[in-house]
Amino acid sequence: MKKKILSISLSGMMALGTFAAVAPNVGAVGEGPNYNGNESVRTSILHTYESMVDYLKTQDAKQQALELEVIGQTVKGRDIYMAKYISNPENPTILFLTQQHGNEQLATEGALEFIKHLGTNKTKGVLDKVNVLVIPMLNADGAMGDVNFSLDDYHADGGRHLTRYNADGFDINREHDKDTKDMVAEARALHENVLAKYDIDYMIDLHHQGTQSEINGEYVSGSILYPTTPNVDPEVQEKSKKLGAVVYNAVDSKGWGLLGKYRGGTGENIGRNGIAVEYGISTLLFEMRGMSDHFYESYVLGQKSNGYLIKQSVVTLDASVRAIADGSIETVDTSFWETLPFQTTRTGEEEDE
């Protein structure tokens, strides 16, 4: 990450509220991120941490099956929320995790929509058969740009910046192989109060990659991968591949959906690998196209794709929950993994995870 003087707009200061570091306003940041022309990213369309909490509390008041839990606090003292639907502890349980990286927020927007969706008749009966845990913004400090380093070279505008790292500049998704006492606050909350506490069968870790990933010459809407460390139990890995198949079938059948295989490493500091090994949870990494903010312009996706990317998250969560509830995940065909092309990047972007 680059270190420069913190630069945020007046509206950004207001959005950050009492958490805002006092900083000089040195004017608008950049000319707006335009990897493909004349659109700019307005982070003001995204939930703030505060508006997300309000949203969750509103849903909690409306939905009898929903229970909100605070699993810990961020470095800056924000409560980290988890939405819980546990009708029967004996049911299979899936955890959806978003925004380990604070600059990857559309998956969170999708997760929030999905929580609302769970309170409607459309999902009637499903929650009797599956337990659902949703952590919709693990890295709330990064999401709010409330960090102890400068974001003035980040490209989005509209009130705040969002960054990958936690407030102290740590990448939460490189903490997962540590003793919990040595983890940063956000990872520790996840491990001690969720992963070690609940009997979780499946997890989807939702991220966003850059905008330039493609297969067969076409930009992908996202990419997926199961745990690839050699230490993962083969049964856990096979269940991960099944979860991936459910997601692939649901997304790829949509007109806007095109998924590639993510080129990910074997390190167990990464959640996809470490959590599968340590807890026997079948994990799936889902990388959606385009980040909400970044200092590399080409990573940031403009406004026009927001709708389908949010929908992609909703479809992913919905399909997973239904397939676990009706048991169809057990028999889904996983052979697509053998032919799914690894994505490549048109302009040599780094991967996200």
Binding site for Zn ion (CB under 5 A): 101, 104, 207, 352
- Closer residue to Zn ion, CB minimum distance, 35 or 286: 286
Is the backbone of residue 159 left (phi > 0), alpha (psi -120 to 50) or beta? left
Tell me the sheet residues that pair with 289: 209
- Closer residue to Zn ion, CB minimum distance, 12 or 264: 264
- Closer residue to Zn ion, CB minimum distance, 162 or 246: 162
CA-CA-CA-CA torsion sign (166, 164, 170, 286): positive
Is the CB of residue 212 less than 8 Å from the CB of residue 347? yes
> In the complex, what is the shortest distance from the CB of residue 104 to Zn ion, in angstroms, rounded to a whole number?
5
Is the CB of residue 277 less than 8 Å from the CB of residue 227? yes
- Closer residue to Zn ion, CB minimum distance, 165 or 202: 165
- Closer residue to Zn ion, CB minimum distance, 285 or 325: 285
- Closer residue to Zn ion, CB minimum distance, 157 or 352: 352
Both ends of the chain: CA-CA distance in Å?
16
CA distance 169 to 175: 12
> In the complex, what is the shortest distance from the CB of residue 111 to Zn ion, in angstroms, rounded to a whole number?
14
- Closer residue to Zn ion, CB minimum distance, 78 or 207: 207
3-state secondary structure 224-281: EECCCCCCCCHHHHHHHHHHHHHHHHHHHCCCCCCEEECCCCCCCCCHHHHHHHHHCC
Question: CA 178 from chain center: how many Å?
Answer: 21
User: What DSSP character marks residue 158?
Assistant: S
> In the complex, what is the shortest distance from the CB of residue 143 to Zn ion, in angstroms, rounded to a whole number?
12
The sheet carrying 218-219 orders its strands as: 218-219, 213-215, 344-345
Indicate the residue whose CB is closest to Zn ion.
Answer: 207
> In the complex, what is the shortest distance from the CB of residue 110 to Zn ion, in angstroms, rounded to a whole number?
15
> In the complex, what is the shortest distance from the CB of residue 101 to Zn ion, in angstroms, rounded to a whole number?
4
> In the complex, what is the shortest distance from the CB of residue 200 to Zn ion, in angstroms, rounded to a whole number?
20
- Closer residue to Zn ion, CB minimum distance, 95 or 325: 95
- Closer residue to Zn ion, CB minimum distance, 330 or 350: 350
Tell me the sheet residues that pair with 140: none
> In the complex, what is the shortest distance from the CB of residue 230 to Zn ion, in angstroms, rounded to a whole number?
23
- In the structure encoding, which two tokens stand for residue 257, read together? 């959906």
> In the complex, what is the shortest distance from the CB of residue 299 to Zn ion, in angstroms, rounded to a whole number?
11
Give CB contacts under 8 A, 24+ apart, made by 335-341. 336/245, 336/248, 337/226, 337/241, 337/244, 337/245, 337/261, 340/248, 340/259, 340/260, 340/261, 341/215, 341/216, 341/260, 341/261
CA distance 331 to 292: 36
- In the structure encoding, which two tokens stand for residue 319, read together? 């399909």
CA distance 8 to 22: 10
> In the complex, what is the shortest distance from the CB of residue 352 to Zn ion, in angstroms, rounded to a whole number?
4
